Structure 1
Amino acid sequence: MTFLYLIILVSITLIFLSFFTIKQQTAAALERFGKFHSIRNAGLHFKIPIVDKIAGKISLKIQQLDVIVETKTKDDVFVRLKISVQYQVIYDQVYDAFYKLDNPYAQITSYVFDVVRAEVPKLRLDDVFEKKDDIAVAVKSELQEAMNTYGYDIIKTLVTDIDPDEQVKHAMNRINASEREKIAAQYEGDAQRILIVEKARAEAESKRLQGQGIADQRREIAKGLLESVDVLNGVGISSQEASALIVVTQHYDTLQAIGEKAGSKLVLLPNSPTAASDMLNTMVTSFTASHELNAENNQHKKD
């Protein structure tokens, strides 16, 4: 009975060892007596115990490998680039991916180093930033051609970081700061120029309006004087007497206005009682002389 139980136990163990499962997005290489037998994909599978052995499993998911490469640009600046390579085992080439390459990570890294150190030294630092997509395309093209032979498909390559030497970064920051300060100064200069122009225009408009106001004021004063003379003429006062009366009146009105202001230092000269009459006689004499001179000039022209 003990022997029978032993046989039953061994049989159950062998049956249990005969079945195995493979997870989704995974493939396994099955070997028989140490020789490749088949590739098993996701699901439940049978193998002969002791005879068959799972040599290993490989993921069919998209994987990413980050490679940091340090190299020198055309303008002798050392720079570190981070290259992210996304790759995947080709479903129909699991055998090649499992048996042909012992360390795919090292192989991919070697190709990335080779391509980057061949492309970047051709470019200046500024061009490296501008043409990082071209570098990524060159890396993918080289890797795709090489890794397809080993059962790997290169999905995408990205230049995810460009890190120049620390001193170079400080210099670039200073250059950018200087450029921004220059642009800010230009904007400030333009703003100041606009303010000056607008201020000048405002002052010109103010002067124009002021001149117009003075002209209107003098025009109204002249109208007032003319009306005053007409009124005085209406009561039998001659134009000369009316003019004298108006001048004297304005003269004393001015003196009164000056006297009403406390602390005024303005003195109106002459300010004697005969000053208005003297000014009027001077004006009349000037007007008479001017008319006579104009008459002589006109006579000479006719002759």
Structure 2
Amino acid sequence: MPFLLILLVLAATVVFLSVVIVQQGTVAVVTIFGKYARIMTPGLNFKIPFVEFIYRRVSIQNQSVELAFQAITSDQANVNFKAMLVYSVLNQEEETVKNVAFKFIDQGSFMQALIRTIEGSIRSFVATKRQAEILGLRGEIIEHVKAQIDTLLESWGYHLIDLQLNDIAFDEIIMRSMAQVVASSNLKAAAENEGQALLITKTKAAEAEGNAIQISAEAEKSASQLRGQGVALFREEVAKGMAESAKVMTEAKLDASLILFSIWTEAIKHFAENGKGNVIFLDGSTEGMDKTMKQLLAVEKMGGIATDKPAQ
């Protein structure tokens, strides 16, 4: 009975040591006395107790690591980088898993080699660029790193999925100088914009004033022409009326100077009512009236000639 119990205990121990459960997302590398034998896939697996051993469990899931390091540009400016690296095992093929399991003595050594390789790639790229160029070359830096280490990572059994440069910063002195440059550039642009706006405003105001003066001048010209035409017509009608009156009085054998006397008295009355001056000079002599009468008769004769011509 005790012997049977011992056999049952030994059998349970052997079964316990033979059962291996591999978690989803990982594979187990099995060795026999230190030599690679096979890999176990996720799920329930069995091994030979005391002969086969689990050398390493390899994750085939995506993994990430954060990096922080410094690089120097060609003009001796220090650049501080913060990056996040996303990588994974290339595939689940046996040869790939063997590379991952046996290339490095442990995971820490692999991570150290990976980080130093990426830092060296970025530093070599930054060393060829000037400080003013770095901030605009984020995408080019990432492409450079991927091109440099993709082949190397594949030889280790890994694949670089993504590299993100989360922060690119310079030393505090350089950052202050860059801020001053940006501020001065913004002030310059603002001054240029303000100057352009002022120039446009002044130009538009000058154009508007010029157009207003031109319109006013044209209106004044038209008004002057109309006023001149009105005065001319008025004078012509007055002259015709006076000539006609003088002709009628001459035919009636009356003295035409009465017309001039009437006009003279009406003029004095008008000047007295509407004039704003204190002194009025009028030629009220007989010679002046006679001269005016002769001029009116001459105007009448010219009007008669002009009237008779179309009838011929």
TM-score, length-scaled by structure 2: 0.72
Q: In structure 2, what residue type is equivalent to 1:191?
A: A
Which residue in 1 is equivalent to 2:60?
60
Name the SS of the counterpart of 1:24 in structure 2.
coil
Distance 1:244 1:226, change over 3 A: farther
The whole-number CA distance in structure 2 between the counterparts of 1:187 and 1:244 is: 73
- Does the 8 Å contact 1:244/1:276 carry over to 2? no
Distance 1:139 1:205, change over 3 A: closer
Name the SS of the counterpart of 1:179 in structure 2.
helix
In the alignment, is residue 94 of structure 1 matched against residue 116 of structure 2?
no
- Does the 8 Å contact 1:66/1:84 carry over to 2? yes
Q: Deviations over 1:3-33 (max 9, x none)?
A: 4344334423432332222122211112234
- What are the residue-to-residue correspondences of 1:67-216 with 2, within 5 Å? 67-90=67-90, 91-92=92-93, 93-101=96-104, 102=106, 103-216=109-222
Name the SS of the counterpart of 1:130 in structure 2.
coil
Q: In structure 2, what residue type is equivalent to 1:23?
A: Q
The whole-number CA distance in structure 1 between the counterparts of 2:264 and 2:176 is: 86
Q: Deviations over 1:187-246 (max 9, x none)?
A: 11111111111111111122122222322333333333334334434253889x979977
**C-alpha displacement of 1:57:** 0.7
Which residue in 1 is equivalent to 2:249?
none
The whole-number CA distance in structure 1 between the counterparts of 2:111 and 2:102 is: 14
Number of residue pairs aligned between Structure 1 and Structure 2:
265
In the alignment, is residue 37 of structure 1 matched against residue 49 of structure 2?
no
Q: Larger radius of gyration, structure 1 or 2?
A: 2
Distance 1:179 1:276, change over 3 A: farther
Distance 1:217 1:150, change over 3 A: closer
Which residue in 2 is equivalent to 1:289?
none
**C-alpha displacement of 1:247:** 10
Name the SS of the counterpart of 2:48 in structure 1.
coil
Q: Out of 208, 220, 225, which is 2:226 matched to?
A: 220
Name the SS of the counterpart of 1:88 in structure 2.
strand
Q: In structure 1, what residue type is equivalent to 2:103?
A: K
Q: Percent identity among equivalent residues? A: 23
Q: In structure 2, what residue type is equivalent to 1:160?
A: N
**C-alpha displacement of 1:106:** 0.4
**Structure 1 gaps, min length 5:** 256-270, 285-303
Name the SS of the counterpart of 1:75 in structure 2.
coil
Distance 1:165 1:252, change over 3 A: farther
The whole-number CA distance in structure 2 between the counterparts of 1:244 and 1:120 is: 108
Q: In structure 1, what residue type is equivalent to 2:98?
A: Y
The whole-number CA distance in structure 2 between the counterparts of 1:142 and 1:247 is: 114
**Structure 2 gaps, min length 5:** 247-258, 292-312
Name the SS of the counterpart of 1:136 in structure 2.
helix
The whole-number CA distance in structure 2 between the counterparts of 1:242 and 1:46 is: 145
Which residue in 2 is equivalent to 1:21?
21
Q: In structure 2, what residue type is equivalent to 1:218?
A: S
Name the SS of the counterpart of 1:146 in structure 2.
helix
Name the SS of the counterpart of 1:122 in structure 2.
coil
Q: In structure 1, what residue type is equivalent to 2:69?
A: V
The whole-number CA distance in structure 1 between the counterparts of 2:208 and 2:16 is: 101
TM-score, length-scaled by structure 1: 0.74
